[in-house]
Structure 1
Amino acid sequence: MFFSNLVDTADHHADLRESVGRLVGEFGRKYFQECVAKGEQPDALWKKLGEAGFLGVHIPEEYGGSGGGMAEFNIVIEECAAQGCPMLYLVITSICAPIIATYGSDELKDKWLPGIADGSRKMAFAITEPNAGSNTHKVTTTARREGNGWVLNGAKYWTSGIDEAESVLVVARDAELAESTGKSALSLFVLPTNTPGITMQKIEAAVQSPENQFSVFFDDVKMDADALVGEPGQGLRQVFAGLNPERISAAAINNGISRFALSKGSAYAQDRTVWSQPIGAHQGVAHPLAEAYIEVQAARLLNARAAQLYDAGEDAAEAANMAKFLAAETSLKALDQAIQVHGGNGLSLEYGLADLWFIARLHKTAPVSREMILNYVAQHSLHLAKSY
């Protein structure tokens, strides 16, 4: 199709998309639904993606990856969702891997990146706090030096998939630097999730996904010196190496959901016959699907541009934020229309649409809410006065 040629700007991108789609398609929506229903992880699919090299397309070759970038990882994430398997853990991978690759010590890179690339190791990301929300400057989880290491105290909220992760990347306030400078000096730490002093409390959520959400508590958690990522007090700058990929990845999930929904909706509109005509022959059915399709392709193109800018080392913040905003909005419209076309069947789990709703809706709120994206665009793109 025309839009595929535009989205896949490199020849190998089309091949990558076809290969990922074929692999994930062998599992499909039913497999993913069964994993959710049983409270199991899609381990078989994850293993296959790792063995095929798809989980590490954005990781440097010297650490077991393919040496690509977010343009390639965007394709992997979107294609998984387009086959009915929206994997939220891929978003976490898009945050942690670039941060470790860019700022981590050689020891941290050697220890974690190869396992992330082949899927044998998972790393969670802990930044959100109940009283900080979108204001990362207000993080209160604190790391204080003790001997040659650190002691971590505090709590995080809505930490995804930490129960299945081997380690967690934690954003914490650097106590000494904060006290001496009066600023919100942040530092990043990688620590094993089985470290004494870490406890987790599951958050019961409406999102139909294998990944669980947790409140995480750190009580006098002792960390070695090598747990620190990069330079102390530089955590905010380091986090931004992962935030644009995070937005691109979230958009990719929603764009994939949109493609899945529109594919199901258009197929049903062709097959379902009422009064001797397929319902798709009626403009009242066809036009909303067509309009959603146009908007989804615009969202996909914007996300591809954001990934391209990021990989080129240019400022991708505006494009990544707008791509995430547009993908969330358009996926809800596409999904809603596909459900509507199915009539009562749209609410049946058999058709695989209704239970995607909260995953799609999630990305209007997180990571980074639509309101904060609008604030960013108003301030940085339109040069309006800061409103918060």
Structure 2
Amino acid sequence: MDFRESSEHRDLRATVRAITAEFGPGYYVPRAEAGEPTSELWTRLGAGGFLGINLPEEYGGGGAGLAELAIVCEETAAAGCPQLLLLVSAAISGEMITGFGTEEQKRHFLPRMASGESKVVFAITEPDAGSNTHKLSTVAKRDGSDWIVNGAKYYISGVDEAEAILLVARTGIDETSGRARLSLFLVPTDTPGLEKTPLPVSAKLPEKQFTLHFDDMRLPGSALLGAQDEGFHQVFHGLNPERITGAAVCVGVARHVLAQASAYATTRTVWDAPIAAHQGVSHPLAKARIETDLAALMTSKAAWLHDEDLPAGEASNMAKYAAAEAAGAAVEAAIQTHGGNGLATEYGLLPYWGIARLLRIAPVSREMVLNFVAQHSLGLTRSY
């Protein structure tokens, strides 16, 4: 067993970090405060081939795997510019279009997703369903060769930046279980019958959230991604990558705020000694560093399992849980280290608190991860 990172991965980390460092917190924080997208950085990452690093080479991608995309997610965050839409467009949508798309869909979407010209966001969450995917009420019904869609989604990230939405809708009912049969659709964001309403949130993020309403929205048959009624299984092909890349972003956020807090603690002097000399300051930072490194190991394991086509559900959930908890603890320790300055706009910590806190809830809540581990890892009775 060799834990040394390959030279290719080291070079990838260094290159992504160097590009992102040209932007850094001085670029990210004002945009997060204003709710403005980080388009310039996204374009640079696309031009360098990093947004499509996990996509097939024949469609303009890098031909690498999720391990490499996780590195991109981690290093952009570690340089102070976490990219939430990497989880959505590059990981979920990119993996699912690659895995289930028609040749026409792949050639239309993947090259421009890889170059940064286009984003495809993901719409599954509904007001009355929450984490219970079987209760989705957005319905797509056949009308000749077309589909008619009615329903609503909410907390859909980055719709204003996207060319299309990868929509999960109910297309039938399983006669045996009574559960919904689901299908996936690629929906251009300018489709008639699609209403997009900004959903205000207090967390300071560059990416906006939206509520979507579908009112007799008509889609051509070519909008269907993959096989009809197979969407439930197809969705899980994208959820593990989302969890893994979410974990990688959390690891990067934790690294960034811990570096900032450590620098502050060694230069901030009170009562003739740097505050770093006091264990009340240093121990929370040290504890957060340990938790961050442990989360990074599980994230690497989960990405490796996915890339090797081995069962990755357990590791992906554990990585997401561990990394989100580590990022939360790291930001909390960083804010506390700064004292009152931890809340000052000048020091720019609150946007990182916002994304760390968000990723304890999404893409899967910590409670649902614990439910998964209790049931699948420990064999305990299902609780929901």
TM-score (norm 2): 0.97
How far 1:172 moved relative to its partner?
A: 0.4
Deviation at 1:34, TM superposition (A): 2.1
Alignment partner, residue 135 of structure 2: 138
Q: CA deviation at 1:163?
A: 1.5
Which residue matches 1:212? Answer: 208
Number of the residue aligned with 1:169: 166
Query: Is 1:21–2:17 an aligned residue pair?
Result: yes
Aligned-pair distance for 1:356?
A: 1.6
Q: 2:335 and 2:32 mapped to 1: Cα distance?
A: 20
Matching residue within 249, 270, 286 for 1:253: 249
1:361 pairs with 2:357: yes
Pairing partner for 2:70 from 71, 74, 83: 74
Distance 2:219 2:332 in 1: 47
Q: Are 1:123 and 2:124 matched, yes or no?
A: no
Summarize deviations over 1:81-128 as a string: whole Å, max 9, x none: 111111111110211000000011111111101111111001111000
Please list the CA deviations of residues 330-378 of structure 1 after superposition, one character each: whole Å capped at 9, or x if unmatched.
1111111111111111111211212321211111111111111101000
Query: Secondary structure of the equivalent of 1:267?
Result: helix
Question: Equivalent residue for 1:328?
Answer: 324
The Cα of 1:187 is off from its aligned counterpart by: 0.4
Q: Cα deviation per residue 1:252-283 (whole Å; 9 max; x = unaligned)? A: 11111100111001111111122332221222
- Partner letter of residue 13 of structure 1? H
Is the Cα contact below 8 Å between 1:349 and 1:355 reproduced in 2? no
Contact 1:187–1:235 (8 Å) recurs in 2 = yes
Q: For residue 168 of structure 1, what is the amino acid of its counterpart?
A: I
The one-letter amino acid of 1:362's match is L
CA distance in 2, matches of 1:297, 1:180: 46
Residue of structure 2 equivalent to 1:291? 287
Amino acid at match of 1:344: G
Alignment of 1:25-174 (within 5 A): 25-93=21-89, 94-174=91-171
Say which SS state the counterpart of residue 180 (structure 2) adopts: coil
User: SS state of the match for residue 54, structure 1?
Assistant: coil
Shift of 1:178: 5.1
In the alignment, what sits opposite 1:12?
A: 8
After superposition, where does 1:253-272 map in structure 2 within 5 Å? 253-272=249-268
Residue 189 of structure 1 pairs with residue 185 of structure 2: yes
1:303 paired residue number: 299
* Displacement after TM superposition at 1:10 (Å): 2.5
What secondary structure does 1:342 align onto? helix
Classify the secondary structure of the residue corresponding to 1:169: strand
Shifted more, 366-375 versus 283-292: the winner is: 283-292
Instruction: Give the AA of the match of 1:359.
Output: I
Q: CA deviation at 1:180?
A: 9.7
Runs of 4+ in 1 over 3 A off after TM superposition: 177-183
For residues 180 and 172 of structure 1, do their structure 2 counterparts lie closer, same or farther at Cα, with a shift above 3 Å needed?
A: farther
Q: Which letter does structure 2 place at the counterpart of 1:135?
A: N
- How many correspondences in the alignment? 382
Change (3 A) 1:278 1:182: closer
TM-score (norm. length: structure 1): 0.96
Cα pair 2:35 2:204 within 8 Å, conserved: no
The one-letter code matched in structure 2 to 1:348 is A
In the alignment, is the contact (CA less than 8 A) between 2:45 and 2:51 conserved in 1? yes
What is the alpha-carbon distance in structure 2 between the residues aligned to residue 276 and residue 178 of structure 1?
71
Root-mean-square deviation (Å)? 1.5
Shift of the 189–220 alpha-carbon distance from structure 1 to 2, 3 Å rule, reads same
How much identity, in percent, do the aligned residues show? Answer: 51
AA partner of residue 157 (structure 1): Y
What SS does structure 1 have at the residue aligned with 2:216? strand
CA distance in 2, matches of 1:385, 1:49: 45
